[in-house]
Chain A
Amino acid sequence: MKLSVHTHEELTVLKVLEPRLDAANAPELRLRVSEMIGAGTQRLILDVSAVEFMDSSSLGAVVSILKMVGGSGDLVIAGAHGIVAELFKLTRMDRVFQMAADADSALDMMATA
């Protein structure tokens, strides 16, 4: 799975560079993020602006990441658009996640949090 990782002080921006997040690659995303959290990452921006399609199994993996970050951490989903944004809306998970239009807005959101 292609991912890019950038750190801004204590914030980590993880950009998914895959056009699809689905049942085939969601377990790997979950594993890679759990390793990052295990290594100390607590404040995470998951940038899905390059993702054109996401199914509910990958949404399950993102919920699992939210649980891993837990009460002491922070997770913002950035750049969801098209059917990816619609998946969050249809499942009403846009109420549960902090959503930002893009990674810069997510950084602003976290800086003021």
Chain B
Amino acid sequence: MSTYNIRLFIDSQLAHVRLLGSAVRGIGQELDLPTEQVGQIELMLVEAVNNVIEHAYDNETGHDVHVRVECNPDDQLKVIISDRGHPIPAAQLQRGSAGDDALLPEPESLPEGGWGLGLIRMLADSLHYECNQDGNHLHLCKQLA
């Protein structure tokens, strides 16, 4: 089956993130991915884009958040989230690894936030982050097969 390559971008506003979420959900449904995986991909993306707006851009509007979705329905789906804001601090990325919950706050402390990166790590099968002259790029991969 062919590989699909979709590019989307929004302005850095939390109210606009649902447009990306709904778009990715629609792509997943169109490609007949299992409902459970579609939800996980949407959550992974929304958490990553919320983080870009809140931390990379300090909740400032007027900046672009780019999302590229590459999908081979027989193999894997990659989501690449790109921005030109503050990079994710290396110390945060080095804690924990894909699939574990080392970055999640303790539930008993009744946290009201701080789950984003931990959730992304749990939902993605692999994660790669790079910063170059074109900005910051978070590569998330979900195995579909």
Q: Are A82 and B39 neighbours in the complex by a CB distance under 8 Å? A: yes
Selecting from A8-16, A41-49, A60-68, A101-109, the interface stretch reads A60-68
- In the assembled complex, which residues on chain B have CB atoms less than 8 Å from the CB atom of A83? 36, 39-40, 42-43
- Bound Cα distance A38, B20 (Å): 35
Q: Are B50 and A86 neighbours in the complex by a CB distance under 8 Å? A: no
Q: Are B119 and A90 neighbours in the complex by a CB distance under 8 Å? A: yes
| B47 sits at the interface (CB 8 A) | yes
Selecting from B71-79, B88-96, B104-112, B128-136, the interface stretch reads B104-112
Chain A min CB distance to B116 (Å): 6
- In the assembled complex, which residues on chain A have CB atoms less than 8 Å from the CB atom of B46? 22, 53, 55
Chain B min CB distance to A16 (Å): 15
Q: How large is the interface on A (under 10, 10 to 19, 20 to 34, 35 or more residues)?
A: 20 to 34
Contact of B40 among A20, A86, A92 (CB under 8 A): A86
Chain A min CB distance to B28 (Å): 11
Q: How large is the interface on B (under 10, 10 to 19, 20 to 34, 35 or more residues)?
A: 20 to 34
- In the assembled complex, which residues on chain A have CB atoms less than 8 Å from the CB atom of B40? 83, 86
A-facing residues in B32-64 (Cβ within 8 Å): 35-36, 39-40, 42-43, 46-47, 50
Q: What are 21 residue pairs bridging A and B, where the CB atoms are less than 8 Å apart in the complex? A: A22-B21, A23-B17, A24-B14, A24-B18, A53-B43, A55-B43, A55-B50, A56-B47, A56-B115, A56-B116, A57-B14, A60-B113, A63-B111, A64-B112, A66-B110, A83-B36, A83-B39, A86-B36, A90-B123, A95-B107, A95-B108
What is B's interface to A at a CB cutoff of 8 Å? 14-15, 17-18, 21, 25, 35-36, 39-40, 42-43, 46-47, 50, 101, 104, 107-108, 110-113, 115-116, 118-119, 122-123
